[in-house]
């Protein structure tokens, strides 16, 4: 199976369509363990355990949310202490200018606001989700199709072995091409 | 020869190891036989898509137009009342020097409370792994957003000069800069509610994106195609996207959980930090939060019962769902009832004559009727949900939930008006009588609520398709 010289390095993709999550999960796990490179899988809903099947690491977005929250907290402290105690201190009912305990509610709210907005913004950026997006959308993926895309980067890709695997897990349809994702 | 056999042996061992590794990765969850499927057992993924997206593709039914017409006329009444308020001023309300807060703040607290159920369902039940929430979270979150909008109108109108409402934001200005007073609970309210609205909105939208993509892929007419293409942000169901999406969804749920508790706590600080008898009480934050979730669940149930009937969603929002919601209403209603009793006990136990007077005045004063409506609707009525018959018969659920809504509106009215109308100085005692404008604004807020909810039903998938597809296998295989 040496269709191309390794030096040319053509990247081709093979997409297999399945009609249920169990086949997809099993083929993803087997394909990875047998040394295929999985480009991605596409599903109508998030599948529990799929990250482990395709060998995806845990997302670091949780840390981003934490840092963003800390940023919100610091901003709230600076904003309230500076405006109330330094920039224009006002005597309100004889309370101290820096009434720190009374600043806690706004501190909490801004922590949540920053953390939520920044983490969703980073999510949209990392996945390039935006209104003018021109991504490839597989037919039926938002309905009831489960799709595995294998990446065929060099000559080591065993087409026959891939075809056997697709058959074993009842692929409905297989597509090949050089531009998928 | 022996070497070849050894090789075959290694290959076989390798295969067995591989297979067991695959089996380990793809292991299915095991369900107890006591579990029941969450969704009608005949539904497959494509049925979910067809049933829910199909609702958006058909023209609106006659029933929808009738309801829309009714709600919209209520909304018009509210708009007239709002114009009257802005043009002539707060004098058009029934307020006087003694009762400076009445319908406006009652409606504000009522609507904010309604919103809490949506967040409870979308965030708290998510963190607790309650998978039945998937059928109802979308509409409950939409209800939250609309209820917060309804609530926001009242403090803004109450400011008297609503066009200057942005003065409550701390921004550098030409008045000094004169900053806002960060020690005031009314300012905390502004921060709490705007954060609550923003986070609820992005949470709701994030959950909607995959479903908007489904609507996009089914759209045949051009306007719909553009609308859903823009909103679905090129969603293609990639697992990398799902993985991060789920992380962020979890983060937002973890943020929204303390947030929702903080919002009604802060609303209760508007009262609790004052020195007015009947308001000055440390029980207020938990009491308000429980009351909010209680009224919110009653409102979700009130909305969903007609929706599931008219839109034929009985297979998705089953009697089991209604039963669960009734149980939460029962729990939170019992907390509310306990809070009422605690308030009475602490009032008398304090020995403070002003506190005791407020309690006796609530129970037997000019607004006693409101107090007893509140007490019976909130403390007694939900206790009927102990009986399964009341949790599974739909007309009964609907009528009890409407009574709870009435009771919770009166709770806020009682707290606000009865504490104010007879204060420390008997010479300034007064009675609050709502004017037509007051009633118009109350009715108008319901008009806005139902109008916006009906528009939501036509524009967005009413049930979270991607989440429901994920729980179709629940207790079924």
CB contact under 8 A, A84 and B179: yes
Of B21, B237, B469, the CB nearest to A42: B237
Separation of alpha carbons B68 and B441, rounded Å: 18
Is the per-residue pLDDT at A3 higher than 50?
no
- Rounded to the nearest angstrom, the minimum Cα separation between A156 and chain B is 20
Identify all chain B residues contacting A84, using CB atoms and an 8 Å cutoff. Answer: 179, 181-183
pLDDT digits (tens, 9 = 90+) for A159-179: 788 888 888 888 888 888 776
CB contact under 8 A, B243 and A56: yes
Residue of A nearest to B15 (CA): A34
Q: Angle formed by the axes of helices B137-158 and B284-310, to 10°?
A: 120
- Rounded to the nearest angstrom, the minimum Cα separation between A4 and chain B is 29
Separation of alpha carbons B459 and B145, rounded Å: 15
Residue appearing with tokens 């609205």? B197
Per-residue pLDDT of chain B (477 residues; tens, 9 = 90+): 677 777 888 888 888 888 888 888 878 777 787 888 888 878 888 888 888 888 888 888 888 999 999 999 999 999 999 999 999 999 999 999 999 999 999 999 999 999 998 888 889 999 998 888 999 999 999 999 999 999 999 999 999 899 999 999 999 989 888 999 999 999 999 999 999 999 999 999 999 999 999 999 988 889 999 999 999 998 988 998 999 999 999 999 999 999 999 999 999 999 999 989 889 989 999 999 999 999 999 999 999 999 988 888 888 999 999 999 999 999 999 999 999 999 999 999 999 999 999 999 999 999 999 999 999 999 999 999 999 999 999 999 999 999 999 999 999 999 999 999 998 889 999 999 999 999 999 999 999 999 999 999 999 999 999 999 888 888 776
Confidence of residue A10 (pLDDT cuts 50, 70, 90): low
Torsion of Cα atoms, B79 then B82 then B87 then B89, to 10°? 170
Identify all chain B residues contacting A83, using CB atoms and an 8 Å cutoff. Answer: 170, 177, 179-180, 182
Set out the domains of chain A in order of their start, with CATH numbers.
12-44+140-177 (3.30.70.120), 61-126 (no CATH)
Identify all chain A residues contacting B181, using CB atoms and an 8 Å cutoff. Answer: 84, 90, 92
If DSSP codes are grouped into helix, strand and coil, which group holds residue B219?
coil
Please give the C-alpha separations between residue A128 and each of A123, A132, B216, B428, in angstroms, as whole numbers.
8, 10, 18, 63
Confidence of residue A181 (pLDDT cuts 50, 70, 90): low
Residue appearing with tokens 């939501």? B456
The answer to whether B132 touches B38, Cβ cutoff 8 Å, is: yes
CB contact under 8 A, B22 and A124: no
Identify all chain A residues contacting B18, using CB atoms and an 8 Å cutoff. Answer: 30, 33-34
pLDDT digits (tens, 9 = 90+) for A16-48: 898 888 888 888 888 888 888 888 899 999 988
The answer to whether B423 touches B429, Cβ cutoff 8 Å, is: yes
Q: Diameter of chain B by CA atoms? A: 113
Return the sign of the alpha-carbon dihedral for residues B463, B468, B474, B477: positive
Confidence of residue A6 (pLDDT cuts 50, 70, 90): very low
Is the per-residue pLDDT at A4 higher than 90?
no
pLDDT digits (tens, 9 = 90+) for A79-130: 999 999 999 998 988 999 999 999 999 999 999 999 999 999 999 998 888 8
DSSP state of B168: G
pLDDT digits (tens, 9 = 90+) for B241-278: 999 999 999 999 999 999 999 999 999 999 999 989 88
Residue of A nearest to B465 (CA): A45
pLDDT at A102: 93
Is the per-residue pLDDT at A1 higher than 80?
no
The DSSP line for A33-93 is HTTPEEEEEE-SS--TTHHHHHTPPPPSHHHHHHHHHHHHHHHHHHHHHIIIIIIS---ST
Separation of alpha carbons B475 and B477, rounded Å: 6
Q: What is the mean pLDDT of chain A?
A: 85
pLDDT at B25: 80
Within 10 angstroms of residue B424's Cβ, the number of other Cβ atoms is 10
- φ, ψ of residue B143 in degrees (nearest 5): -60, -40
pLDDT at B361: 94
Identify all chain B residues contacting A113, using CB atoms and an 8 Å cutoff. Answer: 195, 198-199
- Rounded to the nearest angstrom, the minimum Cα separation between B372 and chain A is 34
Say which residues have a Cβ less than 8 Å from residue A72's Cβ, sequence separation at least 6.
Answer: A110, A111, A112, A113, A114, A115
pLDDT digits (tens, 9 = 90+) for A119-160: 999 999 988 888 887 788 888 888 888 998 888 776 667 778
The DSSP line for A116-152 is HHHHHHHHHHHTT--TT------TTTTTT-EEEEEEE
* A-B C-beta contacts closer than 8 Å: 218
pLDDT at A155: 66
CB contact under 8 A, A61 and B49: no
Please give the C-alpha separations between residue B160 and each of B88, B93, B190, in angstroms, as whole numbers.
10, 11, 16
Lookup: tokens for A76: 């709230």
């Amino acid at each position: 199976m040496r269709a191309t010289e390794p030096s040319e390095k053509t990247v081709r993709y093979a997409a297999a369509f399945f009609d249920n999550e169990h086949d997809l999960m099993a083929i993803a796990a087997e394909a990875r363990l047998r040394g295929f490179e999985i480009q991605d899988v596409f599903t109508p809903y998030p599948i529990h355990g799929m990250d482990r099947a395709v060998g995806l690491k845990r997302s670091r977005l949780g840390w981003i949310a934490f840092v963003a929250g800390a940023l919100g907290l610091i901003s709230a402290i600076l904003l309230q202490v500076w405006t109330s105690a330094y920039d224009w201190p006002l005597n309100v009912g004889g309370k101290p200018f820096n009434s720190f305990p009374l600043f806690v509610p706004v501190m909490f709210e801004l922590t949540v606001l920053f953390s939520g907005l920044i983490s969703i913004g980073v999510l949209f950026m990392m996945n390039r989700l935006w209104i003018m997006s021109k991504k490839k959308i597989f037919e039926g993926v938002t309905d009831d199709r489960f799709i595995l895309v294998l990446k065929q980067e060099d000559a080591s890709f065993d087409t026959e072995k891939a075809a056997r695997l697709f058959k074993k897990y009842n692929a409905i349809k297989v597509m090949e091409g050089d531009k998928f994702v | 020869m022996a070497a070849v056999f050894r090789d075959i042996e290694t290959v076989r061992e390798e295969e067995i190891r591989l297979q067991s590794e695959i089996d380990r990765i793809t292991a299915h969850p095991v369900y107890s036989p006591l579990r029941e499927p969450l969704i009608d057992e005949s539904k497959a993924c494509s049925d979910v898509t067809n049933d829910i997206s199909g609702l958006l593709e058909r023209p609106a039914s006659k029933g929808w137009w009738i309801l829309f017409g009714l709600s919209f006329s209520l909304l018009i009444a509210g708009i007239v009342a709002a114009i009257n308020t802005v043009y002539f001023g707060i004098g058009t309300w029934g307020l006087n020097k003694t009762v400076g807060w009445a319908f406006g703040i009652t409606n504000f607290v009522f609507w904010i409370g309604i919103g809490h159920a949506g967040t409870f369902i979308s965030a708290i039940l998510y963190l607790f792994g309650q998978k039945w929430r998937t059928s109802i979270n979308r509409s409950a979150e939409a209800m939250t957003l609309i209820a917060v909008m309804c609530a926001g109108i009242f403090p803004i109108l109450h400011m008297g000069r609503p066009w200057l409402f942005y003065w409550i934001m701390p921004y550098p200005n030409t008045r000094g800069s004169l900053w806002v007073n960060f020690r005031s609970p009314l300012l905390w309210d502004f921060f709490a509610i705007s954060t609550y609205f923003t986070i609820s909105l992005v949470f709701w939208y994030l959950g909607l994106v995959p479903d908007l993509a489904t609507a996009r892929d089914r759209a045949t007419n051009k306007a719909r195609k553009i609308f859903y293409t823009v909103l679905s942000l090129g969603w293609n169901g990639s697992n990398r996207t799902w993985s991060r999406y789920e992380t962020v969804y979890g983060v937002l749920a973890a943020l929204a959980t303390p947030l929702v508790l903080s919002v009604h706590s802060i609303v209760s600080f508007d009262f609790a930090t004052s020195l007015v008898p009947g308001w000055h009480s440390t029980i207020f934050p938990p009491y308000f939060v429980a009351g909010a979730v209680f009224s919110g669940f009653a409102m979700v149930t009130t909305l969903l019962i007609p929706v599931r009937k008219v839109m034929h969603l009985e297979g998705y929002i089953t009697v089991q769902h209604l039963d669960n919601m009734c149980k939460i209403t029962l729990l939170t209603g019992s907390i509310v009832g306990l809070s009422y009793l605690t308030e009475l006990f602490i009032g008398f136990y304090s020995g403070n004559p002003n506190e005791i007077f407020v309690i006796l005045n609530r129970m037997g004063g000019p607004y006693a009727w409101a107090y007893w409506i509140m007490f019976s609707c909130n403390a007694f009525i939900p206790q009927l949900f102990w009986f399964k018959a009341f949790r599974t018969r739909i007309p009964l659920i609907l009528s009890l939930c409407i009574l709870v809504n009435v009771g919770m509106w009166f709770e806020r009215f009682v707290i606000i008006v009865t504490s104010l109308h007879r204060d420390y100085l008997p010479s300034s005692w007064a009675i609050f009588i709502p004017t037509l404008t007051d009633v118009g604004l109350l009715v108008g807020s319901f008009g806005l609520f139902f109008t916006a909810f009906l528009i939501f039903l036509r524009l967005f998938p009413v049930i979270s398709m991607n989440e429901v597809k994920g729980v179709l296998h629940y207790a079924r295989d």
